[in-house]
Amino acid sequence: MAEHRLLTKNFGTEGLQTLAVYERLGGYQGLREAFQRFTPETLVDEVKASGLRGRGGAGFPTGMKWGFLPKDVFPRYLCCNADESEPGCFKDRKLIDENPHQLIEGLLIAAYALQVNVAFIYIRGEYFDQRLLLERCVEEARAAGHIGTDIHGSGFSCDVIVHGGAGAYICGEETALIDSLEGYRGQPRLKPPFPAIKGLYGKPTVVNNVETLSNLPHIVQRGGAWFKSIGTEKSAGTRLFCCSGHINRPGTYEMAMGTPIRELLEEECGGMWKDRSLKAFQPGGGSMQVLLPQHLDLALDMDAVQQAGSSLGAGAMVFMDETTCMVNVSMRLVDFYHHESCGKCAPCREGTYFESDLMHRLEAGACTSEELNTLADICDNMNGKCFCPLGDTATWFVMSAYKAFREEFDAHCGAGSCPVRSGAAQLVTA
Q: Contacting another protein (CB under 8 A), which of 24, 64, 184, 225?
A: 184
Q: Which of residues 24-43 bind another protein (CB under 8 A)?
A: none
**Binding of another protein by 164 (CB under 8 A):** yes
State the pairing for strand pair 238-245/251-256: antiparallel
Contact between 282 and 317 under an 8 Å Cβ cutoff? The reply is yes
Identify the residue among 254, 268, 301, 340 touching another protein (CB under 8 A).
340
| 365 vs 423: CA distance, rounded Å | 10
Mask 190-229, x = binds another protein (CB under 8 A)? x----------x----------------------------
**Contacting another protein within 111-140 (CB under 8 A):** 118, 124-129, 132, 135, 138-139
CB 13 within 8 A of CB 95: no
Is 60 a binding residue for another protein by CB under 8 A? The answer is: no
C-alpha distances in angstroms, 404 versus 292, 300, 397, 407, 409?
8, 21, 10, 9, 10
Q: Is 362 in the site for another protein (CB under 8 A)?
A: no
Binds another protein by CB under 8 A, chosen from 59, 172, 186, 224: 186
What binding mask, one character per residue, do residues 81-110 give for another protein by CB under 8 A, x or -?
A: ---xxxxxxx-xxx----------------
258: left (phi over 0), alpha (psi -120 to 50) or beta: left
Q: Does 157 bind another protein (CB under 8 A)?
A: no
Question: Helix (H) and strand (E) counts for the chain?
Answer: 18, 8
**Nearest alpha-carbon partner for 11 in 104, 103, 99:** 99
d(CA 266, CA 82): 29
| Interface stretch with another protein, choices 30-38, 66-74, 257-265, 323-331 (CB under 8 A) | 323-331
Residues in 223-262 that interact with another protein by CB under 8 A: 242-246, 250-252
Is residue 355 within the footprint of another protein (CB under 8 A)? no
- Number of residues forming the site for another protein (CB under 8 A): 106
d(CA 266, CA 263) in angstroms, rounded, equals: 5
